[in-house]
């Protein structure tokens, strides 16, 4: 009868194998710096509506989005707030851990996957195939896949087709303040939660976590006296922050180790999240079950068992804010 391996050797071997495989998988999922910090690649398609090649039009352009993606969520929010649902149709794609990318429920433009759509738009393309995508159905090209630019276009370039054309989420007089918030929130909150979750060293995680909660604390102080980030009116700064806040307690708090504090534990930030969620059209852009499925079910290196948590209870989003 053969003797079993000593538990210590089993643990050491298992740890070595898993750590090695984890670093290999993470290198594909999340490019890193030499110190282990997550580095988000830049978007590649940066054309604009309002140019001769891409004039504003109803029905010509389409959004490709994923329910779980916070960057795509920004575009859904802006589309809903402006009332552009009829002018700009959307198609939802789903992540496939087997395919290693986004797939269509039904073929679009003769494509089964988002990667095939990217290749259709630019033959030979080898970059990342991400959502959101603003697609031109006439030329069969990608106009833009950078969410921060897409929402600016949705805010201003389709007013003649919008149900809420007078709503300006990026007013000229508030742009310096909006841009300042956007720069800070992107680095430490929007991308900051990913810098925590995708950190590949303790030093990188500690730095990202400290910056994340320092900014959340600063936002909490601002919201003590302001209804919104830039003052008393809703702007793109709020649109860019909301998707991260919506996912925070459900995903980032646990899976991404952003667990110093939940958003609902902040007096003003929690009330702000509830207020934004209850604005007309916003809740319809939020699919909590899809968010849980896409993060916990598809980020294998962070959740190898693929178990989807039962909670948390997010019914607080429907509570009236004082």
**Would you please indicate which residues are annotated as catalytic (active-site) residues?**
69, 194
Mind giving me the DSSP string for 148-186? Answer: HHHHHHHHHTTGGG-SSTT--SS-GGGHHHHHHHHHHHI
Q: How many helices (H) and strands (E) does the chain have?
A: 10, 6
Angle at which helices 267-277 and 236-247 pack, to 10 degrees?
100
Quick check: 299 and 268 in contact, CB under 8 A?
A: no
Q: How far apart are CA 117 and CA 286, in angstroms?
A: 25
Which helix (DSSP H) or strand (DSSP E) does residue 106 occupy? strand 101-108
Instruction: Identify the three-state secondary structure at position 303.
Output: coil
Instruction: Identify the three-state secondary structure at position 60.
Output: coil
Instruction: Give the angle 229-232-194 at the CA atoms, nearest 5°.
Output: 20
Distances (CA, A) of 187 to 29, 112, 168, 194, 299: 19, 34, 25, 10, 22
For residue 223, count other CB atoms closer than 10 A to its CB.
20
Q: DSSP state, 232? A: S
Q: How far apart are CA 99 and CA 103, in angstroms?
A: 8
The residue with tokens 């896949």 is: 145
- The tokens of 240 are what? 């860019």
């Amino acid at each position: 009868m053969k003797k079993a391996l000593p538990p210590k050797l089993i643990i050491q071997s298992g740890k070595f194998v898993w750590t090695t495989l984890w670093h290999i998988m993470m290198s594909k999922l999340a490019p890193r710096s030499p110190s282990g910090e997550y580095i988000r690649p830049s978007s590649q398609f940066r054309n604009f509506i309002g140019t001769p090649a891409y004039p504003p039009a109803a029905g010509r352009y389409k959004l490709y989005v994923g329910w779980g993606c916070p960057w795509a969520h920004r575009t859904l929010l802006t589309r809903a707030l402006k009332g552009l649902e009829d002018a700009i149709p959307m198609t939802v794609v789903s992540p496939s851990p087997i395919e290693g990318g986004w797939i269509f429920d039904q073929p679009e433009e003769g494509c089964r996957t988002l990667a095939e759509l990217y290749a259709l738009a630019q033959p030979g393309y080898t970059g990342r195939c991400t959502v959101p995508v603003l697609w031109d159905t006439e030329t069969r090209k990608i106009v833009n896949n950078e969410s921060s630019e897409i929402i600016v276009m949705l805010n201003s370039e389709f007013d003649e087709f919008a149900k809420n054309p007078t709503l300006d989420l990026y007013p000229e007089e508030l742009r310096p303040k909006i841009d300042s918030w956007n720069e800070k929130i992107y680095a430490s909150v929007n991308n900051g939660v990913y810098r925590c979750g995708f950190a590949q060293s303790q030093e990188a995680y500690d730095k990202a976590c400290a910056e994340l909660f320092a900014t959340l604390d600063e936002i909490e102080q601002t919201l003590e006296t302001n209804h919104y980030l830039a003052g008393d009116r809703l702007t793109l700064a709020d649109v860019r922050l909301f998707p991260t806040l919506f996912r925070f307690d459900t995903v980032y708090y646990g899976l991404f180790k952003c667990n110093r504090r939940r958003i609902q534990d902040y007096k003003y930030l929690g009330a702000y999240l509830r207020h934004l969620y209850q604005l007309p059209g916003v809740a319809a852009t939020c699919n909590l079950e899809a968010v849980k499925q896409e993060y916990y079910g598809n980020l294998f290196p962070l959740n190898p068992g693929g178990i989807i948590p039962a909670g948390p209870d997010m019914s607080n989003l429907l509570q009236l804010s004082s």
